[in-house]
Amino acid sequence: MSNTHLIQRPLPEVVDVLVIGAGASGSVAVSELAQNGFSVACLEQGDWTPATEFAGDKPEWELVKQKKWHPNPNVRQGPSDYPINTDESDVNPLLYNGVGGSTILYAAHWCRMMPSDFQTRTLDDVGDDWPFTYEDLQPFYEEMERTMGVSGLGGDPAYPDEPSFPLPPLPLGKVGLKAAAGMDKLGWHWWPGANSIASKEIGHRPACLRYGACLTGCPAGAKASTDLTHWPDALEAGAHLVTGARVREITVDDKGLASGAVYIDRDGVEHTQKARIVVLAANGVGTPRLMLLSKSEQHPNGLANSTDLVGRRLMMHPYGAAVGTYEDELESWLGPAGQILHSMEFYETDKSRGFVRGAKWNLMPSGGPLGMRSGYGGRPVDESFGVNFHKNVKRVLGRSFEWGVIAEDLPDESNRVILDPELTDSDGIPAPKLLYKSSENTEKLIKWHVARAVEAHEAAGATSIETTELMRDCGWHLLGTAKMGNDPKTSVVNQWGAAHDCPNLIIIDGSVFATSSGMNPTATIMANALRSIRHLVENRATQPMSGE
């Protein structure tokens, strides 16, 4: 099935809803709104990414993945990308601009948050409680798992409802069995990982071919990116999609309500699209950037920013890892990549560890022979080359795997997205700048968890183990920069994503997370987006709109 759909219809002068961003959350919104009779248009600064362009099934894969398919837009520097100043950030943000957004390049780990993640203030006296509970979001998780065709095994005792999944789990293979044996020796929790990757044909998507190239786009089309799972039906239902549309401002009417957006096409021509409601779905960096860019008489500090919270509380999930190497041949280049296993053994707070909150662990394969062979400069030549080049390949290739640690970082108002005073994108629009420092709690958390991951490898029989306690290129999860909450004085949006200061501006991406959890967030982003948009659909009669 092709993942590009060029249905072009004339845009109405005014649409019911304008969605900005065609990624994980924007796709949910457009699909849901179009199928419920709304006129809806989506502005996406990127384009379709045909699956034939993905390199995961080609010999050059490991060479090109370090540039063209790199998740860091500052490295990739594609025509759809905007620069992000990271001079004052411990972590680089990772994202993709295009139809499907970052689901094009994500690892497809499908992780519901835990009940405690919604109540960190109540339970651990840190962060903030979300304005709803796990049980409120649970039916939307279930619905998204069906829509995305998630593969996994039911009965996981880490969750209250032991969720089942529409497809059976992907194979553990030799890597998963080796790691599981180690966890069993220690009596630690493990479970086959849930992934939004088809283990069997579902809908138009074929089964996974285990290229292990999930992070550079799935050449088989088995991974659930929203260009496959949502856009075909949304376009059939009448949605409008404008690609190459880089938004520079959300406009407001004389009441201060959102009235549309000004965008620039790839020929440099400026357009205005009017709308009764605006939905922001541009990720935890792009969304606050746009809000800060949208200053007006009614919103002098940026759109819906009377609290000065827009852009603040940025959370990016610092990531630690332990890579173990084994004597056995494990075929560790095979997918999914993807999480083969996960472990929640140390997810919940235990204050005796010297920190609060925890982390999900995920088991991932190690890829091909080139792997992470970069950054040699300055290290002794014979460390990586000469006879050791061959010895290292024989020792590591097919024989190593990673326990990764998704560390929950807590909200801190000094971690933020601001507008760079000098740097601009290719259209002259001010670029975002990140101010982000990993906290002492996070550093203690990662150090402790990585030490346990080393023990897990030792128990599984690893012959050598290498650790990383803060990977700089790890900022996949861009969260918290337009916080949701019940109090307009301490939050930007309410529990349905409607901005307190601008009730027809609905924010549905990871920006609204009150806390970050220690989970990959796509499942929660999509479930929350569905919950917010369904509320909008059900309450359309009383929803404030521009032009009324």
Under the binding rule (CB under 8 A), the answer on residue 208 touching other proteins is yes
Q: Are strands 341-343 and 191-192 parallel, antiparallel or unpaired?
A: antiparallel
Closest to other proteins by CB, 52 vs 272, is 52
Quote the Cα angle for 48-52-56, to 5°.
110
Q: What is the distance between the alpha carbons of residues 451 and 117, in angstroms, rounded to a whole number?
A: 23
Dist. CA 12–CA 239, nearest whole Å:
11
Question: Which is closer to other proteins, CB of 138 or CB of 301?
Answer: 138
Long-range contacts of 392-395 (CB under 8 A, 24+ apart): 393/369, 395/325, 395/464
Q: Considering only 132-140, 243-251, 314-322, 481-489, which stretch makes contact with other proteins by CB under 8 A? A: 132-140
CA-based angle 262:265:267, to the nearest 5?
A: 140
In the region spanning residues 322 to 341, those forming contacts with other proteins, defined by CB under 8 A, are: 329, 333-334, 336
Is 300 near other proteins (CB under 8 A)? no
Candidates 276-284, 317-325, 375-383, 459-467: pick the segment binding other proteins (CB under 8 A).
375-383
**Torsion region of 538: left, alpha or beta (phi above 0 gives left; psi -120 to 50 gives alpha):** alpha
Binding of residue 83 to other proteins (CB under 8 A): no
Residues in 134-163 that interact with other proteins by CB under 8 A:
134-135, 153, 155, 157-160
The reply to whether 180 sits near other proteins by the rule CB under 8 A is yes
- Using the rule CB under 8 A, is 231 a contact of other proteins? no
Rule CB under 8 A: choose which of 109, 178, 205, 210 binds other proteins. 210
173-186 helix and 440-460 helix, angle to the nearest 10 degrees: 100
Strands of 191-192's sheet in order across: 191-192, 341-343, 359-365, 400-407, 319-325, 464-468
Q: Which of 38, 48, 61, 319 binds other proteins (CB under 8 A)?
A: 61
Q: Measured between alpha carbons, how far is 85 from 416 in angstroms, rounded to an integer?
A: 12
Interface with other proteins, residue 199, by CB under 8 A: yes
Which one of the spans 292-300, 366-374, 461-469, 515-523 is the region binding other proteins (CB under 8 A)?
366-374
Is residue 391 part of the contact set for other proteins (CB under 8 A)?
yes
Among 1, 50, 122, 548, binds other proteins (CB under 8 A): 122
- Enumerate residues 338-357 that contact other proteins by CB under 8 A: 344-345, 347-348
CA atoms within 13 A on the CB side of 343: 25
How many positions of this chain bind other proteins (CB under 8 A)?
84
Q: Regarding beta strands 464-468 and 430-436, do their DSSP bridges make them parallel or antiparallel, or are they unpaired?
A: unpaired
The answer to whether residue 204 forms part of the interface with other proteins (CB under 8 A) is no
- Look at residues 499, 191, 212 and name the one whose alpha carbon lies nearest to residue 338: 212
Question: Is there binding between residue 389 and other proteins (CB under 8 A)?
Answer: yes
The answer to whether 282 and 505 are in contact (CB under 8 A) is: no
By CB under 8 A, residue 459 contacts other proteins: no
Give me the 234-273 binding string for other proteins, x by CB under 8 A, dash otherwise. Answer: ----------------------------------------
